Amino acid sequence: MKQLLYNQLTERKRVGRKSFTVLIDPDKVDANKIDRLVSISMEANVDYLFVGGSLVISNNLDECIKQIKASCNIPVILFPGAPSQVSKYADALLYLSLISGRNPELLIGQHVISAPFVKNSGLEIMPTGYMVIDGGAPTTVSYISNASPIPSDKNEIAMCTAMAGEMLGMKLIYMDSGSGAKRPVPETMIEKVATHIEAPLIVGGGITDPEKAYRNCRAGADIIVVGNAIEKDDSLIKEMSAAIHSVPVIA
């Protein structure tokens, strides 16, 4: 299996280089918006683009990714809300198992059904332990997944879940309080998880200001994902990127 991007991520983690990811929801962008987001992202040295959403209602995933790839070389990683959200035009796919929940369909069921299709896509597959953390109010992901999120004050549950996911072979851990969450993942929880796993740690959901992104990185997040706040104000891309990239690397 291809490991190009994953090797890059682990190398970045090894030297303490933090990454900034802009999340693009194909339902919320048109061609002009994609062009704008891509051009600002290139200028701001965004490291990765995630494409996906819990609900992808429109049928323009391929077109959206083709347009992005035509105008930039930032790696595009699929962040699928459903097995149908696979596009061969992306570079890689977060192969998500919802390890914080107890819904067998999202732990393994949908993976079994889509396995041949995913394998034939030729995409780099990144096995990802996906942990939904309570963000203060129901989010699309917490509702759609039909699974309870981890309470935001239960750091030990988050730690044990991430450790179990890593020992089961997951190569990335993603802590997400859901798009537009009122409360992003607390730093104490990020720190607890980060100190007990070796896999690169992705954190997202409800991050609206660069200071919070910076503090998350200092707490141990390796990759910060921002979607909702950027949809509202894309000038944030530059500030977020600068804050995340200002975290000192390991000397």
Q: Which residues here bind ligand 1GP, judged by CB under 6 A?
A: 23, 176, 178-181, 204-207, 225-229
CB of 240 to ligand 1GP, least distance (A): 10
List % helix, strand, coil for the chain (3-state, nearest 5): 45, 20, 40
CB of 159 to ligand 1GP, least distance (A): 20
Q: Give the nearer residue to ligand 1GP in terms of CB position, either 127 or 184.
A: 184
Whether the CA torsion 42, 46, 51, 57 is positive or negative: it is negative
Whether the CA torsion 217, 35, 83, 111 is positive or negative: it is negative
Contacts of 73 (CB under 8 A, 6+ apart): none
CB of 97 to ligand 1GP, least distance (A): 15
Q: Give the nearer residue to ligand 1GP in terms of CB position, either 189 or 248.
A: 189
CB of 250 to ligand 1GP, least distance (A): 26
CB of 244 closer than 8 Å to CB of 223? no
Comparing every residue's Cβ against ligand 1GP, the nearest one is: 204
Tell me how far apart the alpha carbons of residues 138 and 182 are, in angstroms, rounded to a whole number.
9
Q: Give the nearer residue to ligand 1GP in terms of CB position, either 15 or 47.
A: 47
Residue 14: its H or E element: helix 4-15
Q: Give the nearer residue to ligand 1GP in terms of CB position, either 3 or 36.
A: 36
CB of 236 to ligand 1GP, least distance (A): 10
Pairing of the two strands 19-24 and 223-226: parallel
Q: Give the nearer residue to ligand 1GP in terms of CB position, either 45 or 140.
A: 140
Contacts of residues 227-232 at CB distance under 8 Å and 24 or more positions apart, as own/partner, are: 227/22, 227/23, 227/24, 227/25, 227/50, 227/179, 228/179, 228/180, 230/22, 230/23, 230/37, 231/25, 231/28
Q: Give the nearer residue to ligand 1GP in terms of CB position, either 125 or 237.
A: 237
CB of 245 to ligand 1GP, least distance (A): 18
